[in-house]
Chains A and B, each alone.
Chain A
């Protein structure tokens, strides 16, 4: 069990550019979640995968956001045409079942300048 791995740890990008983040969950976990956390706030739910199927998507996720989990293993979160309001910590988590404690990764901190 090597934990949930997220890359990159930090990303600085210019407004309007596209960015992609990667998450490698714990291998036995078929549930994978993306959350976003801004300064002074708790994590906010973005989207959820069970295996390769994206089963839930928050209204926070505009059309500029897309997430995939091919083959039910790693996941990617892409943000197109980034805006300054996208600056946040993007957290990935995985779990073996629903409603159990998540294992979180260290997050990817995005700064849009």
Chain B
């Protein structure tokens, strides 16, 4: 069964600090997809990134970067120079590609990030 673990339930940082959100996953499939979503206080989940299991290249998008390491089953998310607007709950998620048909997305319990001005 697939599983996503976000061990950090809450993190507080001071504005402009860098912060890394950890995500560890479990899956028996060799083909799978990993995601990060942001849920700001308004409540709407916002898709940030998708990574497939064959692509271990790290990705950078502005102040956001993602480090995917299959060897440790981790897909960590770093925010550089954090801002107050980054305050939100961040979810890591996993779906297995399977042999066809829909494979549900399993979410972690989320990491609540508070950026203090």
Give the interface of A toward B (CB within 8 A).
31, 40-45, 48, 50, 55-56, 58, 89, 91, 93, 98-107
Task: Give A9's nearest chain B residue, CB to CB.
Answer: B43
Q: Report Cα–Cα, A14/B5, bound state, in Å.
A: 35
Which chain B residue has the least Cβ–Cβ distance from A42?
B107
User: Which partner residue on chain B sits nearest A58 by CB separation?
Assistant: B104
B45 touches A99 (CB 8 A): no
Interfacial residues of chain B within 64-98, with CB under 8 A of chain A in the complex: 91, 93, 95, 97
- Whether the Cβ atoms of B109 and A41 lie closer than 8 Å is yes
Tier of interface size on chain B: 20 to 34
In the complex the two chains form, is B102's CB within 8 Å of A98's CB?
Answer: yes
Contacts of A101 in B (CB 8 A): 35, 47-50
Distance in angstroms between the alpha carbons of A55 and B93 in the assembled complex: 21
- Within 8 Å CB of A105, what residues of B? 44
Contacts of A58 in B (CB 8 A): 104
Q: Is B42 an interface residue, CB under 8 A from the partner?
A: yes
Q: Is the CB of A99 within 8 A of B93?
A: no
The reply to whether A99 and B97 form a contact with Cβ atoms under 8 Å apart is: yes
What residues on A are CB-neighbors of B109 within 8 Å? 40-42
